[in-house]
Every structure is written in C-alpha cells, then in structure tokens.
Amino acid sequence: MSMHSALGIAKNKNHKPAKSLLDLSLQELREWIRLRDYPEYRAVQVWQAIYRQLEVDPEKMTSLPKALREVLSAEFPFPNITPVRTFVADGGDTEKVLFQLEDGNAIESVLMEYMDGRATVCVSSQAGCAIGCTFCATGLGGFYRNLSAGEIVYQILYFSKKLRDKGKRLTNIVYMGMGEPLANLDAVWRSVENLHEPTGMNFSARRITISTAGLVHQIDRFPPTDLQVNLAISLHAPNDDLRTSIMPINRRWPISELIASAKRYVERTHRRITFEYVLIAGCNSSKEHARDLSNLLRGLLCHVNLIPLNRVPGSPFEPPSTEEVNTFRDILLSAGIPCTVRLERGADILAACGQLRMEHSLHDAAIPRHI
C-alpha cells in the first residue's frame, strides 16, 4: 500500500478547505459582522475568543449571543483538522502531532519546550513538499497542496492551548515543518498577521521565523509588509555541485543568486539572516566544506544553524559524529561566522519533517478519527 492510500489522501491536489474563522483577517471579520447588522464590537469579541481564549468553535464562544453563535457556526464550520497521533519524547519536552485534514491529507507539527522557559512550535505550511530535497522525509512523499491560513493558525492555537493548560505560554513560532513556506506565502503571511494582530494574540513578529529552501523571487519580496519576521534559508552545501545533488532547487536558483538575494534582504531590512545547514556524514560535513562555507558567508550579517541529520527510514544518509559536528562549528567560529548547533530533539519519535507521517503510513492502513 502506498503512503497516500494508507493515509486516505484525496487525489484532487486542488482541494480548497472550507473557509473557517481562522482564515479571516480582523478587517474581514468586522465587515462580515457589519453586513449582518451586528454591533462592531462583536467582531472584537469573536477575535478575542479565538486568539486570547483559544476557542475555535463558535458554539463555545459564550460571550456571544446565541443567535450570533448559530450564524457563525452555520457559515464557518468548525475546522476539520483532527489530531490523530501524538508522540512524546525528551521527558515530555518534545511533542509531535500528526493532524489529518478534511480531505485526508496529513501534516505534522512539533512543540519543543526548553529548560530556559522557551516553548517553540514548528508548523507545516503545505501538505507534502515539491522541493524534493534528497535527505528530507517530506519530499519523499511528494506534494499535495498548500495549507490555508486557517489550517496553519490552527496548529499554533492547538499547542498554545496545551501550553496554557500547563500554565505556560508559547514564545516562538518557526515555519520549518512540512512544505516550502515561501511557495505559499500569501497564506503564511495571513497567518502571521492574524497571530500578530494586537487585538488578539499580539504575538511578537520578532519571535517568528519563516524558512525557505531558496525561492529567490520570494526572498526578494520578503517580508511582504513591515513586520519584523525572521528569515531562514536552508543552504546545506557551500558549492553548486553538492547543493544541486541534494537540493534540486539549486538548478533553478544557484548559490550565487541565493547569496545575492540574501544580501539584498539584509540591505533592505537591516536584519540578520539565518542559514540552516543540515550536517550529513560523508556528504557536506568535512573540514573543507566548513572552510568553503566560511568563505561564502564572510561579510554577510548572518548566523549559521548547524543541524545534525535525523535519520530517515529508507535513506542512505547518516548523521555525522559529535566530533565532526564540533570541528565544523569551530572552523566557522574561528572564521568569524556566528553559528550554533541545534540540539537534537525527538529523535525517538521521528521528529524530522515528514517522518511521523511516513512511519504512520507504513504501519496503519487508515488514520483513526480520534487519539
């Protein structure tokens, strides 16, 4: 049985989910309220029920009159996103959830809590991915469709509610889950604006990071507004031959064009850019690669995030040794390139992008509707 039949994924890749309240901007909600002759303050009540009380079901928005709750429920159905499997690792500090969407597609999100009080959620922006990175589990499953803004927001509200129930709060959001965020920039940016809206969650734009595999034409229009969201570029190689072999997108936008767009971004925004670099044993993790990377990035306002590879079932790639990782890091630091090594989280629950969905498809003929 294929991955997609195992998940019950719909064949129509052009499926558009039913519009939910989470897809609306505050201005659109205000207009909807106005056209139905309700007082304008009702829009704020609905918005705050969602983004402060974390309630997405109109029937449970008890601050609203019953008649309005009924109209909202009729026009904006409860988001048909079901958490179907949950895995916990790292003593409870890492939680990964597989969600099923209304058309049968599956996406993954991860919550990571840290000793210093940070709580970061990593969200998906697409069902599948068309970029095709050879070391990434998501790319092995192919691309199905973009997520709506509401489907993205739902992932964040889901984990925000879990944190609230533990007396904690979400501190960071990273768009580094399944999919290429800049290939779905309109929906991604709507989700950012909704989360940042001061009337509701008022989530700091500076605590949001959006990642890209290197869509230069989208980097050149990022950010679409003046919100100071962080940008991360998945680089993973210091030269074109190597990058093309593991990231086919490099054929379209080679490293010279990618670095030029990164420089334009820094000049335009005066903000530091992050380069993500997955370290793969015997592939891109040698001392020579580290020196080449240092030369490539020298003089650019940037930070390098080194990520030891998470093993992908069926993939020939392996993570490097701790010694290799530390040597690579030290070469960058000695060259004046700021860098850190990302702590491995959730390895025992297949926490890298797409691995939970892949593993689930191998062992289950169908996704159950409830955990």
pLDDT in tens, 248-258: 999 999 999 99
Both 115 and 262 in one domain: the answer is yes
In this prediction, residue 130 has a pLDDT band, given cuts at 50, 70 and 90, of: confident
Q: Is 211 annotated as a binding residue?
A: yes
pLDDT at 355: 57
Does the structure show a pLDDT above 80 at 138? no
Give the pLDDT mean for 94-112.
95
Q: Is 180 annotated as a binding residue?
A: yes
Closest Cα to residue 283, out of 257, 259, 309? 309
Tens-digit pLDDT profile for residues 166-220: 999 999 999 999 999 999 999 999 999 999 999 999 999 999 999 999 999 999 9
Both 213 and 284 in one domain: the answer is yes
Show Cβ contacts of residue 91 under 8 Å, excluding neighbours closer than 6 positions: none
pLDDT at 358: 53
pLDDT at 208: 99
Which pairs with CB-CB distance under 8 Å and at least 24 residues apart come from 112-119?
112/345, 112/346, 113/168, 117/168, 117/171, 118/171, 118/172, 119/163, 119/168, 119/169, 119/170, 119/171, 119/172
pLDDT at 5: 36
Domain count of the chain?
Answer: 2
Both 235 and 292 in one domain: the answer is yes
Domain that residue 345 falls in: 80-363
* Domain end marker among 75, 96, 112: 75
pLDDT at 78: 79
- Residue 93 within a domain: yes
Q: Is 301 annotated as a binding residue?
A: no
In this prediction, residue 18 has a pLDDT band, given cuts at 50, 70 and 90, of: confident
The CATH number that applies at residue 251 is: 3.20.20.70
Q: Which structure tokens are listed for 251?
A: 């054929």
Both 188 and 293 in one domain: the answer is yes
Active-site annotation holder among 55, 108, 113, 151: 108
* Residue whose token pair is 């959001």: 173
Q: Is 235 annotated as a binding residue?
A: yes
The CATH number that applies at residue 60 is: 1.10.150.530
Both 117 and 230 in one domain: the answer is yes
The answer to whether 339 is a known catalytic residue is no
Both 291 and 198 in one domain: the answer is yes
Mean of the per-residue pLDDT values of the chain:
89
- Residue 273 within a domain: yes
In this prediction, residue 325 has a pLDDT band, given cuts at 50, 70 and 90, of: very high
* Domain end marker among 75, 96, 120: 75
Both 31 and 163 in one domain: the answer is no
Q: Is 129 annotated as a binding residue?
A: yes
Both 176 and 304 in one domain: the answer is yes
Active-site annotation holder among 122, 283, 339, 353: 353
Both 211 and 317 in one domain: the answer is yes
Which pairs with CB-CB distance under 8 Å and at least 24 residues apart come from 250-255?
250/214, 253/214, 253/215, 253/216, 255/296
* Residue whose token pair is 């002759």: 37
Both 296 and 218 in one domain: the answer is yes
- Residue 368 within a domain: no
* Domain end marker among 46, 75, 104: 75
Closest Cα to residue 230, out of 185, 273, 188? 273
Contact predicate 133/213, CB 8 Å: yes
**Percentage with pLDDT > 70 across the chain:** 88
The answer to whether 193 is a known catalytic residue is no
- Residue 172 within a domain: yes
Q: Is 346 annotated as a binding residue?
A: no
